[in-house]
Amino acid sequence: MWHIKEEGFDINKIAHYGNKFLIGHLNLGVRGTLDEFGKAEMVACHLPFIYDQVGQGWREPVNAFNPLYTRLYQGSSSLDVFKSKIISHEQILDISAGLYTRKTLFDDEGVEVLITSKRFICASGKRRIFGVYQIETNQDISLTLKTGIDLNVWDLHGPHLEDVIKEVDGSLYVFGKTHEKGQIISTAKKVTNSHNFKASYQEDDQKMLEVYQFDAKAKEIYQFYQYAYIGVDETKAVIEAEMNDMVTLGFNQAYVDQKNIWRSMWDDADVEIVGDDFAQLALRYSIYHLLILSPRLSKNSSIPARGISGQTYKGAIFWDTEIFMLPFYLNTDLNSAKSIIKYRISGLKGAKEKAKSYGYQGAFYAWESQENGFDACTDYNVTDVFTNRPVRTYFKDKQVHISGDIVYAIKSYIDRTKDDEILMEGALELILEVARFYLSYGRYNLLLDRFEILDVLGPDEYHERVSNNAFTNKLVSMVFETVIQYEKQFKDDKNMFFYNLVKKIDFYKELSLIKDLVHKVYLKEVDKDHLIEQFDGYNRLKDISKDELLKQKLHPNEYLGGSGLAGDTKIIKQADVITMLYLFKNDYEKEIHEKNFHYYEPLTEHGSSLSSSMYALIACHIGKPEYAYPLFMKSATIDITGESKTYAGKIYIGGTHPAASGGAYMTAIYGFAGLKIGDILELEPRLPESFKKMSFKIKHLGKQYQINLTKDHYDMKEI
């Protein structure tokens, strides 16, 4: 169960398949589009973290010139999926090694031409693309192959590359300069072939092309090996050396190396399911996405909300990474886990600047974080489908829980690794500055003798500018408790680092206030029905079912939040109270989990890919894995089925959903397997009916464990 496959060509699924058959790593993502596709079909060689802004458009990552463009002609007729008769067509992604394959059998008046192309991106982290384009016919015919670099780049808010220079010097080279910072983005391509055909050069319609004209013999295989390199601020000499090394290595040997790297990654990360083949494939596909996004090769990189699939959400890092993806890396890849934490440490300056810009102190972390903690989020993140006017949203300025999410992640990392050194590498200062921000943002209510957090936006983005959101307030309480915990820890260790830092950043007053307020942070009470109100006044909102609400929509992409249809109802976008209950599950009795699950799940539209996994986890926690199973499958298959929102109003939000992938992994490990992590590891298996057995590995406190379990038995051994 290692292959994602689709048969037949469907013009309506081009965008979805581009996401579904994505390959790459955190330095380069190549969408799963066909060789002959171009800008209109959303081809992208995506460069995460290389940001650029043009005019008043959103600041977003850059897409490079496409070196994979290849088109085959029989006479003057182009063989492509739009114009030609297709006998069979399939796309395959081998997730065991990150190999994309396309096979198409064309019929041109009895002449059958089989095209098989394969490509992979070097798993070592370099921006190297290896490909082979193979041709086989059933008759002797004359063919023309045009292959090269497509300069017509798909952008959401571009064009980002200007001052373009083209060169032909043994290889094809094209250089462009980003608009904002003047970074040099280069694409180079070299082609070799199995029959030593010679090529002519052609420039056509914004393309640099090598043209091969040859007489093909029936049943003979013709292979054109494609080697491409994408550079960022690299000299031509460096690029040329990379190209020569790739050609010398060759496609076949490079693929052997590729498989070895992937085998090593899967050895730590795989989760084996016996009894449910589709769930097995879906979970492995989720893990595949987490592996291609691994920040293992960097010291302080994190993961964008849409991964490496394109420019959606400005290529920014959200809370998705800390809450939904970090748990995977804590179990399988601690270098990646540390990189995620270090990324936030490196963004502390930007978070302090953001807080200051709003008149607050401390660290207010970016909702859509780009380099150095810069917040790319705008005040208008949705376009109304009826008026075409931008809609004011409050994601940037009111989702203050982001800072607490980061502290939660740091604490989780330290609890799992005992890497206290990271506190002295900037994490402790981050925690103190987040606490300072919450002291600055919050309000002490004298009459009620409690510390409140007013005017916020919780995970449920349909209800804006609410007060005392249960999730947010719980995080604030946790941040204050964490400050006190680390003060005691450093004091017990007779380590003066904590107090020296307090002196350095002048935190004396704040530390005193935290000690006074830590038990006065207002946490939403559990009512007589064991329910927790999501925010002040939620219980007074209009009672309506999801179906009733959705019937009122006048446009399929209508935005429900803010002043939209859901704003004055109890219908919520995604798990909110339920997310709090999962993150702090030991603070609440199981009956509270159960009552809130059954109350909030019918009211949740699941308008975010983050939502289903939290409900699945709580369903497992209350002993109902059969409730959890469809929610788990929704998370695990979202990029297989393509059943997700692609527009918020008129704003394109398509792409992959790595947070859902992380949520699927979490459900499998912490939900179905029932893994409990403390000083020792424990399991409470709650396997769904279709699962007969699960096996996986876990890293914890410097050791690795092999875990095997069935519905009523498990064994765990150190390896």
| Per-residue confidence (pLDDT) for residue 600, from 0 to 100 | 98
Inter-residue contact 573 to 605 (CB < 8 Å): yes
Q: What is the pLDDT of residues 472-482, one digit of tens each?
A: 999 999 999 99
Options 2.60.420.10, 2.60.40.1120, 3.10.180.10, 3.40.50.12280; CATH for 673-719 is 2.60.420.10
Inter-residue contact 403 to 365 (CB < 8 Å): yes
Give the span between the Cα atoms of 35 and 331, in whole angstroms. 37
Instruction: Please confirm whether the linkage preceding 685 is cis (ω < 30° from 0).
Output: no
Angle, helices 428-441/348-357, rounded to nearest 10 degrees: 10
| Per-residue confidence (pLDDT) for residue 238, from 0 to 100 | 97
| Per-residue confidence (pLDDT) for residue 55, from 0 to 100 | 94
Q: Which of 322, 368, 461, 464 is catalytic?
A: 461
Write down the H helix ranges in 293-400.
320, 326-332, 334-346, 348-357, 395-398
| Per-residue confidence (pLDDT) for residue 680, from 0 to 100 | 86
Residue 520 Cα distances to 61, 66, 282, 452, angstroms:
43, 57, 45, 9
Inter-residue contact 463 to 535 (CB < 8 Å): yes
Give the span between the Cα atoms of 137 and 221, in whole angstroms. 8
∠ CA(95), CA(101), CA(105), 5° rounding? Answer: 145
Q: What is the pLDDT of residues 91-144, one digit of tens each?
A: 999 999 999 999 999 998 899 999 999 999 999 999 999 999 999 999 999 999
Inter-residue contact 609 to 635 (CB < 8 Å): yes
Inter-residue contact 95 to 114 (CB < 8 Å): no
371 is catalytic: no
How many angstroms separate the first and last alpha carbons of the chain? Answer: 25
| Strand runs labelled E in 126-221 | 128-137, 141-150, 161-169, 171-178, 184-193, 200-203, 207-216
646 burial level (CB within 10 Å; 0-12, 13-18, 19+): middle
For the beta carbon of residue 504, count every other beta carbon within 10 angstroms: 9
Query: Which tokens is 597 given?
Result: 């699950």
For the beta carbon of residue 655, count every other beta carbon within 10 angstroms: 27
Query: Which tokens is 302 given?
Result: 């994190």
Angle, helices 401-417/428-441, rounded to nearest 10 degrees: 150
Residue 440 CB partners (closer than 8 Å, separation 6+): 355, 360, 361, 362
Share of the chain above pLDDT 90, in %: 94
- Sheet holding 161-169: strands in order across? 3-7, 85-94, 99-108, 111-121, 128-137, 222-232, 184-193, 171-178, 161-169
Full DSSP string of 613-645: HHHHHHHHHTT-HHHHHHHHHHHHHHHHH--S-
Give the span between the Cα atoms of 365 and 174, in whole angstroms. 38
Q: Which residue has the tokens 């057995």?
A: 693
Q: What is the CATH number of domain 8-267?
A: 2.70.98.40
| Per-residue confidence (pLDDT) for residue 197, from 0 to 100 | 97
| Per-residue confidence (pLDDT) for residue 237, from 0 to 100 | 96
Residue ranges covered by each domain of the chain: 8-267, 302-672, 673-719
| Per-residue confidence (pLDDT) for residue 645, from 0 to 100 | 78
Closest CA to 421 of 331, 502, 493, 371: 493
Q: What is the pLDDT of residues 562-580, one digit of tens each?
A: 889 999 999 999 999 999 9
Full DSSP string of 320-346: HIIIIIHHHHHHH-HHHHHHHHHHHHH
CA 240 to chain centre: 32
Closest CA to 469 of 376, 402, 561: 402
Q: Which CATH class is domain 302-672?
A: mainly alpha
Residue ranges of the chain with per-residue pLDDT less than 70: none
